[in-house]
Amino acid sequence: MIDMANIPKGALYGIKVLDLSRVLAGPSCTQVLADLGAEVIKVERPHIGDETRHWAPPTFSDDTSAYYATINRNKKSLTVDITTPTGQTIIKQLIADSDILVENFKVGGLKKYGLDYDSLKQSNPRLIYASLTGFGQTGPDAKRPGYDYIIQGLSGLMSITGPSDGEPHKIGVAVVDLFAGLQLTIGIQAALLARQNTGVGQHVDVALLDSALAMLANVGMNHLASDKIPPRLGNQHPNIVPYQVFAGEGEQHFILACGNDSQFAKLCDVLAVDWHTDERFTTNPQRVANRELLCGELTKQFAKQPRTYWLEVLDQAGIPCGAIHNVAEALAMPQAQARNMIVNFTEQGSPVRALGNPIKLSASPVSYRTPPPQLSEHTDSTLAELGYDKATIAKLKADGIV
C-alpha cells in the first residue's frame, strides 16, 4: 500500500472541494484540484453513480469504466440523493466547511434544492461556487443543455476541422469539455487568491461555448481581421506554409513544420532546390499565397524517400518535424515514460492505469494518492465525520437517501 506519510503536501493541501459535477468537464477540473492536493468529495447518485461509470467497455472493474477512471482519481465517493430534504441537509453540512463547490447542473437546476450560489453564500460567504454549463449563467441560451459535440459544431471548431474537400469533423476527444474544465480550474484558483485579499468567495461561471470560441484563437482572429470566413484546410496551417502532413515513400506520413523563412531555406538545402530564392516562395506570405503550387512540389520530393530518411535528415538540419504516432506508440515514447505520463495504481490494490498529470511543480508536486473510488466507498466515513452514528447511516441507506 502507498505510504501517505511520505507524500509531499500538494499546493492545494487544506482546500476542501465538494464535487457535484459529473461526466467529463467538471470532473476533469476537480481531478486537477485533487492532484494538486485538495480534498475532493465526489457526490454521486445512490446505486447508480456518475453515468460515466457505465460508459463501457472497456472497464477496470464492475463500476469503474476507463472513461470514469480518466477524471476521478484522488477523490472520495459519497452517494447522496440531493432531491430529498435529508440529502440536501447532508450537502449543506458538507458545504459549511468547504472552500469550493463545483457543479455542472443546468442553469437554475440546484435552486429548487436550496443549493444555488445565492442561497449557500449566506451561510458560507467564503465559498467559491464554480459552475460549468453549456452556455453560461446569462444570455438567451443560458438554459439550454450543453454537449461537447454540439458545441464543437456551434462554435465553428468543426468548420475548420477535417479535409478541405470533405465534411466537417469533430476533434478526436471531447476537447471543449477538457478545455472548459481547465478554464474552470484557472477561475477557481484565481478566486482562491482573491479570497485571500477580500475574505469572501465568489461565483465562477464558465461555459462550454465561451471556451470553444476562445479556442478559435488565431483562426478566429483571422476572421476578425479580414471579415473572411476561415476555410477548412485539413492538415494545413492557415497562416504558415509549409506546415502540414506529407507522405514519404510508401505513404508513411509525417509532419513538417517550417515556422519561418530560415527554416524554409534549410529545407531547400536538404532537398537541393533553390525555391527560397524564388519570389513566389521567398517569404511566408508569398508561400501562403502560392500554397498549392509549393506543397504540390514538396509532395513529389518527399515521395522519393521513406519517412525514416526524411525525419533523420530534417532533424539533423534543425527543421521541425515528427512522426504521426498511434496512441500505443505515443505512450511508449521514452520521453512520455521519463515524464511519468502513465500512472499505475497496482500498489494501492487497483487495476487502474491512468494518464498522468502534465503539471510539474518542484516544491509541491502533484501526487497520485488513491485510484478512482468505488461507488459509495467513502459514504460511511464522510457521514461519520459529520457526526452521524452507525444506526443513522444504516437508516439513511435503508431509505435510499445515501
Give the residue numbers annotated as catalytic, written as ranges.
177
Beta strands 342-344 and 353-355 are: antiparallel
Grid coordinates standing for 138?
A: 446569462
| Rounded-to-integer distance, Cα 75 and Cα 28, Å | 12
| Rounded-to-integer distance, Cα 234 and Cα 76, Å | 43
| Rounded-to-integer distance, Cα 81 and Cα 85, Å | 9
Other CB atoms within 10 Å distance of the CB of residue 48: 12
Range list of β-strands (E), 27-112: 39-44, 59-61, 64-65, 75-79, 100-103
Q: At a CB cut-off of 8 Å and minimum separation 6, what does 202 contact?
A: 128, 129, 191, 194, 195
Type of residue numbered 209: L
| Rounded-to-integer distance, Cα 401 and Cα 399, Å | 6
Q: At a CB cut-off of 8 Å and minimum separation 6, what does 188 contact?
A: 29, 33, 100, 102, 128, 130, 204
The separation between CA 198 and the C-alpha centre of its own chain, rounded to angstroms, equals 30
Residue 266 phi/psi, 5-degree rounding, is -65, -40
